[in-house]
Amino acid sequence: MDRPKFYDARDILREGEVYDYPYSIPNAQQISPADVLVCYRAQREAVGGQRIFGVGRVDKIVPDGDRILAVYDRYVALKPARSFDNIGGDPRNNRRNAINALDVEIVQTLLQAFGLSSIEDAEHIETDIEDLQEIGTGPGEEVVAIED
């Protein structure tokens, strides 16, 4: 994996299928196919500090009006969810921007905790893109990304 990125994305359309986010967030154009996204909830929404809930790999980027859909082809639901303490603390270097750098080792730590050696070992996802477009957004959640 190359230099990873941390995505503070607040709009998740469907957990485990796609990450739906606006063009307008800082560095929105940084997500590309083959990036690995580490998904986490906002602190106010996390029960007991358990914020990190999934890891997914982006297969396709699909424009959808003023939004972008990053469609997963691999996804691991982290159950139970993990806290930032489980990965050595909050990895964000700039909490005000939507996209921040993230160490590759964090993804490896999360995957290994669930018995996976790489994102390739995760469940393969088939998603109907037309079904996803123009549906709207879901609850506010956040995402971390790792470039592959």
- Residue 35: exposure state from Cβ atoms within 10 A (0-12, 13-18, ≥19): buried
What pLDDT, on the 0 to 100 scale, is given for residue 101?
64
Which of helix, strand or coil describes residue 61? strand
- Domain holding 44, by residue range, is 5-146
One digit per residue, pLDDT tens: the chain, 148 residues? Answer: 444 444 444 444 477 888 888 888 887 888 899 999 888 887 888 889 998 888 999 999 998 888 888 899 999 999 999 999 999 998 888 777 656 667 889 999 999 999 999 999 999 988 877 766 554 433 344 455 554 4
What pLDDT, on the 0 to 100 scale, is given for residue 148?
45
Q: Which residues, 6+ apart, have CB-to-CB distance to 19 below 8 Å?
A: 7, 9, 12, 13, 31, 37, 39, 56, 58, 69, 70, 72, 143
What pLDDT, on the 0 to 100 scale, is given for residue 85?
93
What pLDDT, on the 0 to 100 scale, is given for residue 13?
45
CA distances, 80 to each of 52, 96, 114 (Å): 9, 27, 10
What's the pTM? 0.79
- Which two structure tokens, joined as six digits, stand for 142? 């956040």
Q: Fill in the DSSP letter of residue 117.
A: S
Structural domain total, the chain: 1
For 109-122, the pLDDT digits (tens) are: 999 999 999 999 99
Q: Which residues, 6+ apart, have CB-to-CB distance to 115 below 8 Å?
A: none
Which of helix, strand or coil describes residue 62? strand
